[in-house]
Amino acid sequence: MQKVKRSLWIPVICAAVSVASCGVGKGSENDSGVPVVAGLPDTVTFADIAPIMRTNCMPCHREGQAGPFPLVSYNDLKRKAKTARKMVTGRWMPPWPADTAYSRFTGERALTARQIALFAKWVDQGGVLGDTSALPPLPVYPDGSLLGTPDAVVWLPDSFHIPGDNRDRFMIAKAPFVLERDTFLRAVEFVPGNRRNVHHMNGAMVTYPPGGKKDPLQPSGYIDADSTHSVDAYAELHLQNDDGTWPPLTPNMVNYLPGLSPPLYPPGIGGWRVGREGAFLLNTLHYGPSMRDTVDHSRFNLWFSPTAPERPMRELAMGTLGDSPVEPELVIPPDTVMMFRSAFTLPKAISLLTINPHMHLLGKSFLAYAITPDKDTIPLIRINDWDFRWQYAYTFRHMLPLQKGTVIHVEAVMDNTTANRNNPYDPPRTARAPLQGHMRTTDEMLQFFMNYVDYRPGDEAISLGR
């Protein structure tokens, strides 16, 4: 798995032809989604609800953020009470697809059963204001960076004009840089210029060998992944060395989703070598639909490390174009629901840090677990209701050691029927994995990325939370 055989063609483009809006229509109108919880107050007031809203809604639902309206004040919530109830009891909001009954991660945004029940009861009782004198002041959010002041900032060379045509866009772009010298990176954060419209971003990094590219800052603009085939798209980005070869790629290095803090691992753990000349490759830059013309100008914040990371970040990619095949071959005939698997045996002991399941529009559910040589099962992640719009990179609460010989299993269900709201075709068409270099936007993928470091005794006690 250490092979650096992977070329630039890791198509993490998860473009979509048509996109249903967030979770509307999911679940029934009845109350089966409301957990039965004992000991709720007879009258639920805003004082019970405000802490839930402030912690779990406000990070995205406030001025300038991704949520389509603010959820900050009593009136904000009162106005949206009915839809909010539906989204909360249907587990669509806050968006957190991973099943917290299966495994736990840092920065989880899932509500507890009690919180959901409180929320529903408050709405059902008409949204009582009650006594708010004891409410703590509103939280203050940092501007720009979630991690603090960066050591350097790499801007995209130009801004992107988002037309107000109310459609999703999946762009690829690059943010080239020339640093003072080769050095090391401790953390990278993507900061959207327009948080309302940037829905997600998966980024990688290319590193130019000395003299590999005379003009590493060569401009390229933004390329629509939906209207071009990816081979051409990458070439249009002018990412190659001058001799046409592809520079080394650090895949899946930085992920952005609204409300997600980038992981900041303990000192010495993770981190990358970064060449003097290189570029961040925005492999998918997803703009959500906008009703009016607007502009985005995003950037990357960098934190350097003076010394090489003691335990550098390594990556394992299972599934499509990765280090373990998908079985059976990823071909999904129309009107079928199928299970696909992939398994990988660890040739050495590792400690997992962050994992990232990836599928496209036909994904229905995703499960990953590990089986040790002693036949113990270690749960990794379960997503019961796949939503391609919320593809988080999940960081474990503590480093998760896996011994040599452990088998990592991935099981994913794909739904190519019309019952799948996100199916790009009606009637459905055969979907398959992309051939190397011939990625189409409606191709299906099954990938599981894992960031890890080589195992050291005691790792299980090392916390990754902040």
The residues of the shown chain that bind ligand HEC, judged by CB under 6 A, are 21-22, 24, 56-57, 59-61, 66-68, 71, 80, 83-84, 87-88, 93-95, 109, 258-259, 288, 389
Rounded to whole angstroms, the Cα distance separating 345 from 409 reads 9
Beta carbon nearer to ligand HEC, 124 or 460:
124
HSE, side-chain direction, 13 A CA sphere, residue 116: 21
Closest residue to ligand HEC: CB criterion: 22
Q: Return the number of the residue (129 or 178) whose C-beta is nearest ligand HEC.
A: 129
Long-range contacts of 55-61 (CB under 8 A, 24+ apart): 55/139, 56/94, 56/109, 56/111, 56/115, 57/84, 57/93, 57/94, 58/138, 58/139, 59/141, 59/259, 60/94, 60/258, 60/259
Locus of tokens 């993507």: 190
Considering the complex, what minimum distance in angstroms separates the CB of residue 297 from ligand HEC? 20
Q: What is the smallest separation between the CB atom of 119 and ligand HEC, expressed in angstroms?
A: 7
Shortest CB 69 distance to ligand HEC, Å: 7
Least distance in angstroms from the C-beta of 29 to ligand HEC: 14
Please give the Cα distance from 257 to 271 (Å, whole number). Answer: 21
- Rounded to whole angstroms, the Cα distance separating 367 from 344 reads 14
Least distance between ligand HEC and beta carbon 57 (Å): 3
Q: What angle do CA 219, 225, 229 make, to 5 degrees?
A: 100
Calpha distance 329→320 (Å, rounded):
9
* Eight-state DSSP code of residue 457: T
The secondary structure of 168-225 as a DSSP string is -EEEEEEEEEE-SS-EEEEEEEEE-S-TTTEEEEEEEEEEPPTTS-S-TT-----EET
User: In the bound complex, what is the minimum distance in angstroms from residue 462's beta carbon to ligand HEC?
Assistant: 27
Taking the least distance from each CB to ligand HEC, the nearer of 21 and 75 is 21
Q: Which of 190, 208, 187 is nearest to 199 (CA)?
A: 190
CB of 110 or CB of 410, closer to ligand HEC: 110
Cβ proximity to ligand HEC, 183 vs 423, nearer residue: 423
* 199 within 8 A of 258, measured Cβ to Cβ: yes
CB of 349 to ligand HEC, least distance (A): 34
Spatial distance between the Cα atoms of 19 and 423, rounded to a whole number of angstroms: 9
The residue (of 6 and 78) whose beta carbon lies closer to ligand HEC is 78
Q: How far is the CB of 55 from ligand HEC (least distance, A)?
A: 9
- For ligand HEC, the closer CB: 107 or 325: 107
CB of 21 to ligand HEC, least distance (A): 5
Determine whether 8 is exposed, middle or buried from the number of CB atoms within 10 Å of its CB (0-12, 13-18, 19+): buried
Q: CA dist 281 to 172, 251, 459, Å? A: 7, 9, 32
Question: Cβ 197 to ligand HEC, closest distance in Å?
Answer: 10
Six token digits for residue 371: 């089986």
- Closest approach, Cβ 390 to ligand HEC, in A, equals 7
Nearest partner of 19 among 174, 222, 199, judged by Cα: 199
Residue 432's alpha-carbon distances to 286, 333, 357, 364, 441, in angstroms, are 22, 9, 18, 15, 11
Q: Toward ligand HEC, which CB reaches closer, 60 or 326?
A: 60
Alpha carbons within 13 A on the beta-carbon side of 425 = 16
